[in-house]
Amino acid sequence: MTQRPAFLSVVLDVDSTLCGIEGIDALAKRRGPEVGREIAALTERAMNGELSLDSVYGERLQLIQPTADDIRALATAYAAALAPDAADVVRQLRARGVHLVLVSGGIRQAIAPVAHALGFDSADLNAVSLVFDPSGRYVDYDAQSPLTTQHGKRTVIEHLTLPRPILAVGDGSTDIAMRRAADAFAAYVGFARRENVVAAADLVIGSFTELAQVVLRTEV
């Protein structure tokens, strides 16, 4: 008899969890080393909980002014940086009836190609949309999205209809908020280890192979 999974839903962060890059930092590097360093410093402080995401989300995009071409390049970078074994584990979990969703403060248009390649439909991809003019220049971002705020991931999960128990997985301070909407929170340290996130987590996971073991109740 097949054992029931320990978790029936898994909520995954994208940047530095599903994929080994921070999308906003990758965009900033396309504007040169000075902008790259400035944005990376803001991102790191936000992920470490030193700054609220609310205070830096729009500021970073305003500094970068990403074009539609930049977003297409970022989509390629996400695909190239997919976590080891992630595709196999996603298939394995789905085959056991586990529902997977992505909840990210990253840019939806850049994440969508890799998400769709992994079998996520549009309803299971939660991220922030950008607006471009007809020539592909940056206009604005969806400032109404809760994912542009420090605790918005909790709000998103609370509005999703997911089978329980739910495991939330992420690497940054904004992911900690998911703990209150899920049944457990795992700090993903496969790409970046942030001690404030580890301290807030129920579990620490270093790879997608470990994630499968946790969800499917096999020995780690």
- State the catalytic residue, choosing from 15, 70, 124, 171: 15
Give me the DSSP letters along 77-127.
HHHHTBPTTHHHHHHHHHHTT-EEEEEEEEEHHHHHHHHHHTT--GGGEEE
* Terminal alpha carbon distance of the chain: 21
Domain architecture of the chain: domains with CATH: 9-215 (3.40.50.1000)
Per-residue pLDDT reduced to its tens digit, 23-48: 999 999 998 988 888 888 888 888 78
Q: Residue 19 — φ and ψ, nearest 5°? A: -130, 145
Nearest to 128 by CA among 114, 113, 116, 110: 110
- State the catalytic residue, choosing from 13, 70, 124, 175: 13
Residue pLDDT tens, the chain, 220 long: 568 899 999 999 999 999 999 999 999 999 898 888 888 888 888 878 887 888 788 889 998 999 999 999 999 999 999 999 999 999 999 999 999 999 999 999 999 999 999 999 999 999 999 999 999 999 999 999 999 999 999 999 999 999 999 999 999 999 999 999 999 999 999 999 999 999 999 999 999 999 999 999 864 4
15 flagged as catalytic = yes
* Two structure tokens written together for 189: 């340290």
133 flagged as catalytic = no
